[in-house]
A = this chain, B = another copy of it.
């Protein structure tokens, strides 16, 4: 049995636990010894040179380990992962240990130079890059094969020996963050920099986008209200509102890119160099030579993957789309039936019944979306993508297409086949509001309530008198390891994407959509914040420079919305009345306006620079400096000759 403190920990006096490793119950002793030895071993011997300590609870040792690292080790790790920090002259530079003195707030005894989230990210990176040397298998588990260069942690995870790795919460910091974030009712911005320090850039950027998007919707909501209140349906006001919406949605997406680059420049991730991507944990294949690295590792033929994508996944997605359309047709039958029933009976009950099909359909849509999500995840994982990014892109594409059709097909059908604007408005309102309520409930409130009940039971079992902050480290770890895992920002962005669809696709029919979206997003900020702070385990920080494929998704939606809005306006009776003689002229005018709007959109996207001038200058300055440094080297070499 190893001691409670890591064997190599002779220098560091105060071990600060950062990351928790939970091994399966009954993991063999030799495996644990080998694994912990590899973690604490010197870099020179191929170890991670971290500190590790078993967690001792009242029930004895439970195969839970706390991982930390010395201050020096973390600084060197920051250099390895390519962290970008602010210098004393306010410029952002890639951190190197040798130039550490030039960085703002750096001093050898300031252990807060790196934030806790950064330290945890470094430890995660070091653990994942702990690679097999010449072990053929994990000691004690002959079926868990290893080959030189294979990530040990990933093999342990896929063979079920390692249950989970997660970063610890910092209860003090979390309390402060909660207070400034959603503790008091206030009008103002979220503490994005604090969120970034605690949860990392990906999550902070999501909240930044959510906040920005909410503010950006306010003009649309404010202009929309009088349309609803005074029932303005004049031609000119109508067209003005729709045109404003269309141009506005282009502007907000372009401006977001600028704001995003301001944020990520300040956070350093805009400058961070992309690391070489390792195969994702689930990737499998026969051993071969990777043409890029020249290393022996599993390879999987790209042709096989293409076959799986085009012969299985694509037909399956099409089938699902067909099924979704089929369900939609049932909904319309139900709707018709409710209408007939109401006509026959004319009672309060029957008029209530009119809303039932829409609500049922909204619920069914949500259920189908969630079921399809599992199928999409299974299929994408079966496609066996080598890289996590490629997996994510294929998953997002599958899910987006289905969700788009599932949510909007009925609205398109009502608008462009039934031509029933009243029904469209009613369906839109029902779908929007139902899906918002369902989402808020399923995403935050239900897990929060479950977690709270569980925590209460836990605490009662452990020791009924302690408050949150007084909890011992062991209790804290035990409580956090049972919390749910936050699966990334995918669902949150998807929700916003669909909401953007509801707001923009049919904006000229239902101007109130933006109002509901704004109201929802304000509560969404709070419920998401609650979810992050209270419901889920702390997630590892993930550096990112932008919102990735979502930018493209939102831009595509805004292009589609130009088309739908132009058609809707063209179909409105007010516009119709302007062309009493010739329907042809009407259609041609609408088509012309649509093409003009699309052209303006593309020109605007082209003209507005994605990065503000001052940040461009700063980036150019850094590039210039590195070129100059290179030239100096060459010059110095030439002078020697």
Chain A residues at the B interface, C-beta cutoff of 8 Å: 43-44, 72, 76, 79-80, 97-98, 275-276, 291-294, 302, 563, 583-584, 587-588, 591, 595, 613, 617, 620-621, 623-624, 627-628, 631, 634-635, 637-639, 641
Contacts and interface: CB of A to CB of B under 8 A. Distances in A.
Contacts of A639: 43-44
Contacts of A72: 641
Nearest to A302: B613
A132 to B, nearest CB: 17
Oligomeric state, in copies: 2
A291 B76 CA distance: 32
Given A43-B635, A588-B587, A617 B291 contact: yes
A595 B79 CA distance: 50
Contact of A623 (B43, B276, B620): B276
Contacts of A275: 627
Contacts of A617: 291-292
A624 B292 contact: yes
20 contacts: A43-B635, A43-B639, A76-B637, A79-B634, A80-B631, A80-B634, A275-B627, A276-B624, A276-B627, A291-B617, A291-B621, A292-B620, A292-B621, A293-B621, A294-B621, A583-B584, A584-B584, A587-B588, A587-B591, A591-B591
Contacts of A584: 583-584, 587
Nearest to A640: B44
Contacts of A292: 617, 620-621, 624
A634 B99 CA distance: 13
A296 to B, nearest CB: 15
A76 B638 contact: yes
Contacts of A628: 276
A493 to B, nearest CB: 20
A293 B624 contact: yes
Enumerate the 6 nearest inter-chain pairs by beta-carbon distance, A residue then B residue, closest first. A292-B620, A587-B587, A292-B621, A44-B639, A276-B627, A291-B617
Contact of A638 (B43, B293, B563, B613): B43
Contacts of A635: 43
A584 B587 CA distance: 8
Contacts of A98: 637
A275 B627 CA distance: 8
Contacts of A634: 76, 79-80
A341 B634 CA distance: 76
A613 B302 CA distance: 10
A603 to B, nearest CB: 11
A627 B584 CA distance: 62
Contacts of A276: 623-624, 627-628
Contacts of A595: 563
A189 B490 CA distance: 50
Q: Which of A587, A623, A631, A638 counts the most B-chain CB atoms under 10 A from its CB?
A: A638
Contacts of A76: 634, 637-638, 641
A292 B624 CA distance: 7
A616 to B, nearest CB: 9
A255 to B, nearest CB: 19
A276 B623 CA distance: 8
